[in-house]
Structure 1
């Protein structure tokens, strides 16, 4: 069975799909991959804390970006056991137990596909929601409620799980071999594999990428229209220009996230489509190397989300300064209490 739709080379009975795939995966996933995931985990944890730190500032967009950050984090964290166990070992050619082979398939392919699907569709809804907010702000204030987007986020997670969840049950362990699995009787044919691969290509890659690409141009138009509208309203204000610029930069963060995502997702989409249409033209020696590289680039792109937020969002930087100040005051108070307690004991 080959499940390499999203990065890791297939692993069967102690050997990967090819020596070339294994070598490039070992270079990217032995130390660099876990480090990237750990930094992403810290960044996303900090972002989730900041956007929810001031309860009055919670909006539909913060709900969506929080959901996106959670999906990004889970996408990487779910693969960490695989990175640590498989790619940090020197004896990778030794066969592993059936449990670890099962874990390689579940943690390396199925769960990452679920979280990746959830991320993409949340970004699609995020792009549409941001366009409506910028283009018709007063109507959006009435309709784009936090509760509704919490429901949307939950629906996206459920649908993403449904698309891939049957992959947990479609295989059986071949007895007598430590790490070899095959599809269950009745679905062990090429039509099942083709159906699943094309379903993922269309529902997970092609449709979301097309929608996000289409959203980029209207989003640019809506941001510019919003800028000109504020410029006319605050034409006589001395502080209008810097305030308008900060607000426009904050609006551009959604555009930056969509563009950053499309830069990585379109190459991944094209690679998947090419492998589905022309499977016989791909080199057997390095069949999945390109997917491994794009998958690693995907992990790196998730790490860049927080820097984009910080660069373009003045309010997030202000919330970070408030959070840092509160943490400093908290520790200073406890330190002062400890000092006063020591003085009392000495007296």
Structure 2
């Protein structure tokens, strides 16, 4: 079994194993296994820009995107609207909606509710953060780009 290291971050900045830098506002004890690192969103981007953009602008954009893309899907899924072009357009709308929908819970938790200063733990939450903020939105965004290319090729032919 891996040796555990206990770190106590109390109202100050501190370094953890592997140079992990965390800022915690309240008394918390974080237990890390050997070689494990915490996710610290304050080191990933400038908080002065991240909080207004992800905490306040993103919820508004999320609502607008969900409403608009839901209306597009509802209209294009009607029986008389089913064409190959509309199928690609509907897939693009779904892809664009999922690009914002997957990271939304994390962005609300971190930036809107002000938890960006806390280290993200347990380790499973760190993996989920990385997957739902980097990998899955990138996958849907890439799918949207390829669908745009497919639509252009379809219209050209």
Instruction: Decide: shared fold, TM above 0.5.
Output: yes
Q: Return the TM-score normalized by structure 1.
A: 0.33
Q: Which of 79, 89, 102 is the equivalent residue of 2:103?
A: 79
Residue in structure 2 matched with residue 171 of structure 1 by the alignment: none
1:289-313 Cα distance to aligned partner (Å, 9 max, x none): xxxxxxxxxxxxxxxxxxxxxxxxx
Instruction: Tell me if the contact between 2:110 and 2:116 (Cα under 8 Å) persists in the aligned partners.
Output: yes
Say yes or no: does 1:48 pair with 2:85.
no
Q: Which of 37, 40, 58 is the equivalent residue of 2:82?
A: 58
Larger Cα-atom Rg:
1
CA pair 127-99 structure 1, distance change in 2 beyond 3 A = same
1:231-279 Cα distance to aligned partner (Å, 9 max, x none): xxxxxxxxxxxxxxxxxxxxxxxxxxxxxxxxxxxxxxxxxxxxxxxxx
CA pair 100-22 structure 1, distance change in 2 beyond 3 A = farther
Q: What's the CA shift for 1:33?
A: 0.4
Q: What's the CA shift for 1:52?
A: 2.1
Runs (4+) of structure 1 exceeding 3 A deviation are 11-15
Q: What's the CA shift for 1:102?
A: 1.8
Q: Return the TM-score normalized by structure 2.
A: 0.69
Secondary structure, counterpart of 1:16 in structure 2: coil
CA pair 12-118 structure 1, distance change in 2 beyond 3 A = same
Q: What's the CA shift for 1:15?
A: 4.6
Q: Which of 5, 10, 16 is the equivalent residue of 2:42?
A: 16
Residue in structure 2 matched with residue 130 of structure 1 by the alignment: 155
Higher helix share: 1
Residue in structure 1 matched with residue 130 of structure 2 by the alignment: 105
Residue in structure 1 matched with residue 5 of structure 2 by the alignment: none
CA pair 43-16 structure 1, distance change in 2 beyond 3 A = same
CA pair 107-129 structure 1, distance change in 2 beyond 3 A = same
Say yes or no: does 1:116 pair with 2:141.
yes
Instruction: Give the Cα separation in 1 of the matches to 2:41 and 2:92.
Output: 34
Instruction: Tell me if the contact between 2:54 and 2:111 (Cα under 8 Å) persists in the aligned partners.
Output: yes
Q: Which of 119, 122, 131 is the equivalent residue of 1:95?
A: 119
Q: How does 1:193-342 map to 2 (within 5 A)?
A: none
CA pair 120-91 structure 1, distance change in 2 beyond 3 A = closer
Q: How does 1:120-159 map to 2 (within 5 A)?
A: 120-132=145-157
| Number of aligned residue pairs | 120
Bigger relative contact order, structure 1 or 2 (CA pairs below 8 A, ≥6 apart)? 1
Instruction: Give the Cα separation in 2 of the matches to 1:121 and 1:131.
Output: 15
Instruction: Give the Cα separation in 1 of the matches to 2:53 and 2:61.
Output: 10
Q: What's the CA shift for 1:123?
A: 0.4
Higher strand share: 2
CA RMSD of aligned residues (A): 1.9
Q: Which of 63, 88, 107 is the equivalent residue of 1:38?
A: 63
